[in-house]
Structure 1
């Protein structure tokens, strides 16, 4: 978990100063007096971000998830679970039931390689690139749309989009006022116990919209509480949630202020289980901190249950100020300021660590103490991140020119404390920190995009991005490692869209993008107390180690991406089909090992390849009956990579993985949804198929997640009463046929999905 002191950073980097100057120049457009517009017109630009693709214009492979889908399908599951029925996407949940820590994969890439945004604001953690969806719980209740772009270089803010990008747009403001109350309860079947059905999930929420006040102001607010006991033992979570927004219209300018987030409290569950547990309804629910096979590999030789004290607390408020200004008929200026101020910790089992490992022995000035054991340690993080995103759009005679950029700053203070242990030294200070360091990152980018209309049917898009990212480690206690590593990237992309007629269009694009490694790929400083060292070239002459911090071992990933597709849309049907080819250099792939927190360990593969075909379709069969679905066929292959197999006598032995499939994603997956709607009632069935896939890169037949098919049912009925008031009743059955399946895995460790479970809910709108 990479989760602050708040010094304003010096602009010490010459490229950084230059980037900021260019962004300021791009934003300095002479003001002109705008013509008066309708309220409806002025609200529209607020919804658009610098990464939004448009059908029949933008040569990008993308899927839009609209307000109607979100309203009907969202209840209390996290974002990855809801989006997992979109093309080339799968998800999994640590706790098994889709509430808590959830993860999403797109085209074989985990969420670290996706650019995740809310209103265009980056959400990937700057240090480890991960996305902590639980930091903004219940956000989809305030979302108006989600756009998923597949392919490289599709986002110009935040980390480069290797596999694609996901942009969640929150626009909960409505012209008419309302008050909404919501209550939901989830029930889980447990085949291992005397309580066959138990309430395990609860949600209460209240929201309001002021409507349009004084012709220029709208207010919105929502508060909620979501609780889940989890499917696995001791995997519960409690999440508070809030979203407050204000929108003001001043002539041709709209300004929005958002505050959203929510404190979380959860029990740790991050260790996968051996495959043999899947068919046992008791064993598959275990929450272990460590386990080993027996000699026959059909049972446990050793298993350590997770301790009840292993919990987490975290809170990350998000502040956004978004301004859109139609400077003239042809020029628009968009600026976003954001700020996160985050604090939290997680307590975890360190019973395998002795006093020397946790730096409480005589080496560190402590009196010797016998019987040190059973430690619980706390990993803490205090984070600050803020930034400015800006872009200027100019509509000219032949198209549109967009110039934009960003500057973001991140400062994370990481520390560890001993919360409990037997045999602690006398007069031990509970605030003593056995590790502490600061992770810092400067991020800046500039981009230029030209969308050129070659003729009435053809649009050509040309864009290029310059990205600057600089990692720093500072103030490391005990070891004193300190370094800064800058990265400079140029990411170009070109594409063309041709509208063949009123229904058919086709597109093709070619992009190149690069991304820096994670900070822990350079140095896992939080793990240094048990042996992690900087991953840089080193000189050991004279018996001491001297690191060359200008020469990191982990290389940036570089990707060439070719996309081609066609789209069809009529009044009753739609079809999108596309092919992609993604050629990697130095892709960071799973080595087959995991770290102490169950995360996969990565290494650079000189060459890997992802190719595939995707199809997405929908049709209205009858006025009240629709069918929609998607399918993806892909091949994700290591072309050139030799993994470290063993070390002996100073000799490194490697195993060639050439031709092996890349771990973590199926070659075949598909979704089918049938929906019937009539007179306020809706019944929908989702069938999801996920093919088998390896969980390591070594082509080990036993390390393979088996294929599964799961069926979910959803029902809605809305009963109107009074003027503008209604009551909606919701019912869901997930895993209708009670399949026992594994969602994902890391090497020999797998994550079981929950058994059949149910949800009922009431929503009252006044």
Structure 2
């Protein structure tokens, strides 16, 4: 007895493994990808291909496991370590309908043979200090982010594999959110949406068929918060450099009467910005109400964002970069962008048969707003204003203030019919969408120094755009053998786009175009061994030109084709995935090779339109090729190291640059053409990497170093070092401490120090060049967007 008592402390200090398996209660089949949470330490892992999981090196004692899996009821188990046998957690099919088919129809899985990264709710929450969504995805492979104001709040951008946001398909709950005309997604119109996100899947390359614009670099499939069975309330307040504030309040009713849920959020984010006067004032809300029956689900989701930002999109001239890197050329006090966007979604899902499920959604988006500009010495005639005659003096120019408006509606429906056979070998989806865009573009003069006969709100241009987008797709996954699976996906998409009216440079831009695309995709997966999968896929994507490609198309025969063509991408992906556990260690490895071959890719030519905007033209032959490597190793939840790196080659074959030559009166006298047999695609770094080292020395406290590297980028397609963005490396420090007092569920204190080593770097820019008659010199005008030096964000979050 005395010996047992003496050995008791040693037994308590001993480390034990908690092993188990998650299965379907009806069939006994293992459930891969289930989330298993160790409640006491709030650590989580995912089950392997056979449903197995492990938490290595735990002290002896009592533990609680919470297990979740899409389509199944939540499971829970109480464990006492040490244990003799692995714990078995059997999940029953869900007694309530959550409507996951609405989102899963456009998502990739382990069986689709495509390249993707899933970012969980927990990972998003760890990164969320109020910065825009692109910054929360910065650690995913092949991603480069940038901010006009320099600090991640306001207008931000993201590139994946060198492709900007206009080539990245973005959906929220399966609903497209890319602007129908510019193809861009403006996260400034959805501030703090990250606080209402369940997860994000980033598909790189063409990916699987989805709704909205074609993916030419990646897809971002966003799912807002799902069913939470327990009521909750949460408040988060952040403060940081440049007077940055974030206030967010969230709540959820939990499952009421086993059927109803209500979730909501109110947020306000503001910042003065790193760049002079580049302030942001952002407000948003999220509200969802759902009915979840045993075989059906009806859910209404609405979210809205209202933004006012001072314009910083002109950048900093190269000559000021070293001496005044926060320079902003705008000084007029209301040189602001003002926009509100309201989203409404109604989702319905129904189990028609035990293995057949129908999901659908109606959506409506209302957007309206303007940006205001002070313009010097403008020709009154360009604004439909008569000259002012004072005696013998005729005044034909004036300083004025103008507003450029966009007032639009976007509405439509999406659907997906999903079937899974009894054996689980076959999964088939028939889906698609019909969407309509109706947008008015117009400009008004709200003040002029010499107003002449103008009216208040003098309208000087107006054009209307209508766009109808229809697509239908069919996807099939079939497991040929226990290890070998195949995937097929075919989409048909049509676009009808028309513009009627006059643009801001007084040109009639009336035109109508139609496109029809067939986008086939196929893939294969092979389970090499337990936890190891190899895959390969081939996909074709087609994409229509943007609005500016039509409205600003070259008018001069020297400038190339007058009508832009649709772009086509042929995408090959091949990779290997490893998921494993070994004693006190969890680890993952992803290796991927890709080749993206473009036909008629639209690229910058170096030419400008009548108001100085850059023009694009179709390039017959260009490509992106690379290798993406990503890995993670976790030692007993005490230390975790994750890393990813992309090496790529991004080239245009047979490219022609056009350089304007001006006479003394600044009229175009000539265009100099320079031919390149092979050159680099602009804004496409050859190396991009992201690394994280995180430690948890004591329970509840986590410290992480985040390190990002981006290689050299060229501002145009000439691969000239005179027009480039230098390579940069940036480190961030993140500290989080979570504790659970008796009077509330959780309190979290967090600190994010951005740019820890105070580097001066830029992440974006633009350029144009010109020559003059009789002067052989070339004059380059480079503009950059400097990112903030060392800065911090401090956050306090409480959960009830």
Question: Which TM-score band applies after superposition, normalised by the shorter structure?
Answer: 0.7 to 0.9
Indicate the larger mover: 165-174 or 707-716: 165-174
Question: What TM-score do the two structures reach when normalised by structure 1?
Answer: 0.85
Could you say what secondary structure the match of 1:465 adopts? strand
Q: Does 1:511 align with 2:530?
A: no
Contact 1:153/1:512 (8 A) holds in 2: no
Distance 1:598 1:83, change over 3 A: farther
- Structure 1 residue 202, shift from structure 2 partner: 0.6
Q: Which has the larger share of strand?
A: 2
Could you say what secondary structure the match of 1:644 adopts? strand
- Structure 1 residue 594, shift from structure 2 partner: 6.7
- Structure 1 residue 761, shift from structure 2 partner: 1.3
Q: Which residue number corresponds to residue 175 of structure 1?
A: 229
Q: Which residue number corresponds to residue 736 of structure 1?
A: 756
| Residue pairs, 1:659-738, within 5 angstroms | 659-677=678-696, 678-722=698-742, 725-738=745-758
1:609 to 623, 648, 663: 623
Indicate the larger mover: 42-51 or 730-739: 42-51
Q: Which residue number corresponds to residue 531 of structure 1?
A: none
Distance 1:173 1:272, change over 3 A: same
Q: Which residue number corresponds to residue 41 of structure 2?
A: none
Give per-residue Cα distances to partners, 1:459-481, cap 9 Å, x unaligned. 11111111101110124487655
Indicate the larger mover: 444-453 or 383-392: 444-453
Question: What TM-score do the two structures reach when normalised by structure 2?
Answer: 0.81
- Structure 1 residue 369, shift from structure 2 partner: 6.2
Could you say what secondary structure the match of 2:124 adopts? helix
Indicate the larger mover: 324-333 or 354-363: 354-363
User: Distance between the aligned counterparts of 2:610 and 2:692, measured in 1?
Assistant: 40
- Structure 1 residue 272, shift from structure 2 partner: 2.0
Q: Does 1:117 align with 2:151?
A: no
Contact 2:428/2:474 (8 A) holds in 1: yes
Could you say what secondary structure the match of 2:722 adopts? coil
Q: Which residue number corresponds to residue 257 of structure 2?
A: 214
| Residue pairs, 1:238-637, within 5 angstroms | 238-280=281-323, 283-288=324-329, 305-361=330-386, 370=395, 372-396=397-421, 398-426=425-453, 428-476=454-502, 481-524=509-552, 553-571=563-581, 572-592=586-606, 600-637=614-651
User: Distance between the aligned counterparts of 1:242 and 1:727, measured in 2?
Assistant: 23
Could you say what secondary structure the match of 2:677 adopts? coil
Could you say what secondary structure the match of 1:353 adopts? strand
User: Distance between the aligned counterparts of 1:393 and 1:100, measured in 2?
Assistant: 39
Contact 1:512/1:558 (8 A) holds in 2: yes
Could you say what secondary structure the match of 1:109 adopts? coil
Which structure 1 segments of 5+ residues have no match? 1-33, 189-199, 289-304, 525-533, 539-550
2:192 to 128, 133, 138: 138
Q: Which residue number corresponds to residue 643 of structure 1?
A: 657
Instruction: Report which of the two structures shows the higher radius of gyration computed on alpha carbons.
Output: 2
User: Distance between the aligned counterparts of 1:670 and 1:598, measured in 2?
Assistant: 35
Contact 2:316/2:326 (8 A) holds in 1: no
User: Distance between the aligned counterparts of 1:347 and 1:44, measured in 2?
Assistant: 43
User: Distance between the aligned counterparts of 2:72 and 2:285, measured in 1?
Assistant: 37
User: Distance between the aligned counterparts of 1:552 and 1:126, measured in 2?
Assistant: 22
TM superposition outliers: structure 1 runs of 4+ over 6 Å: 34-37, 594-599, 647-651
Q: Which residue number corresponds to residue 779 of structure 2?
A: none
- Structure 1 residue 421, shift from structure 2 partner: 2.0
2:135 to 68, 81, 86: 81
User: Distance between the aligned counterparts of 1:594 and 1:749, measured in 2?
Assistant: 16
Q: Which residue number corresponds to residue 220 of structure 2?
A: 166
User: Distance between the aligned counterparts of 1:171 and 1:160, measured in 2?
Assistant: 26
How many pairs were matched up?
679
Contact 2:95/2:294 (8 A) holds in 1: no
User: Distance between the aligned counterparts of 2:508 and 2:165, measured in 1?
Assistant: 32
User: Distance between the aligned counterparts of 1:535 and 1:321, measured in 2?
Assistant: 42
RMSD over aligned Cα, in angstroms?
2.5
Contact 2:446/2:458 (8 A) holds in 1: no
- Structure 1 residue 211, shift from structure 2 partner: 0.7
- Structure 1 residue 432, shift from structure 2 partner: 2.0
Q: Which residue number corresponds to residue 148 of structure 2?
A: 94
Distance 1:475 1:508, change over 3 A: same
